């Protein structure tokens, strides 16, 4: 009888392990395809936003445009803390700061694995108020003349709403 009991227990353990593995696979199978989100924090409020535009890295004409844009209330006194997940920070990414006079947009490019968060003053003495933040994932593209350009294949946007 003990041999039969051992066989039954071993069978149950194998079936339970297989069931747990299948359950874990079902729960995480779409997890790798989820698009990353950025977050912005200021004055006790956090906003998380998915990509506004997300393209296939190999074919920049194959894009999904959700037009998602976060909105964060800001004031002159407190900066914005922008955070990107490792999925973005592991690649070259660009931060655009859009000012009330859009001709004064500034651009900062971060190298892979150097930055996951940036503190952004809401007012620049020369440019004025920041009204928007854009995070872009970059892809290096060669044009017809053989020149290389960095183009965004993904873009996240946060509009800053002034109190």
Q: Sorting pLDDT into bands at 50, 70 and 90, what band is 112?
A: very high
Residue 17: its H or E element: helix 2-28
Model confidence at 101: pLDDT above 90 = no
pLDDT at position 102: 79
Angle, CA of 100, 106 and 112, to the nearest 5°: 140
- How much is the pTM? 0.77
Nearest in space to 135 (alpha carbons), one of 66, 57, 83? 83
Higher pLDDT among residues 8 and 82, named by residue:
82
Nearest in space to 158 (alpha carbons), one of 98, 93, 88, 76? 98
Average pLDDT taken over every residue of the chain: 85
Higher pLDDT among residues 8 and 124, named by residue:
124
What is the C-alpha to C-alpha distance for residues 74 and 85, in angstroms, rounded to an integer? 22
For 54-96, write each residue's pLDDT tens digit.
999 888 899 999 988 999 999 999 999 999 999 999 999 999 9
Pairing of strands 148-162, 70-74: parallel
pLDDT at position 103: 85
Model confidence at 17: pLDDT above 50 = no
CA 3 from centre of chain? 55
CA 112 from centre of chain? 14
Model confidence at 15: pLDDT above 90 = no
Model confidence at 24: pLDDT above 80 = no
Model confidence at 14: pLDDT above 70 = no
Contact 64, 53 (CB under 8 A): yes
For 120-139, write each residue's pLDDT tens digit.
999 999 999 999 999 999 99
């Amino acid at each position: 009888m003990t041999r039969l009991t051992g066989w039954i227990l071993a069978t149950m353990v194998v079936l339970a392990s297989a069931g747990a593995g299948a359950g874990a696979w079902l729960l995480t199978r779409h997890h790798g395809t989820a698009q990353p989100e950025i977050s912005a924090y200021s004055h006790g409020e956090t906003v998380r936003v998915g990509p506004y535009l997300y393209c296939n890295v190999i074919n920049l004409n194959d894009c999904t445009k959700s037009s998602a844009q976060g909105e964060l209330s800001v004031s002159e006194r407190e900066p914005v803390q922008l955070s990107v997940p490792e999925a973005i920070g592991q690649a070259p990414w660009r931060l655009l700061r859009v000012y009330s006079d859009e001709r004064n947009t500034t651009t900062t490019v971060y190298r892979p694995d150097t930055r996951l968060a940036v503190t952004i003053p809401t007012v620049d003495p020369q440019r004025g108020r920041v009204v928007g933040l854009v995070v872009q994932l970059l892809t290096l593209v060669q044009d017809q003349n053989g020149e290389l350009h960095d183009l965004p294949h993904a873009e996240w946007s946060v509009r800053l709403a002034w109190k």
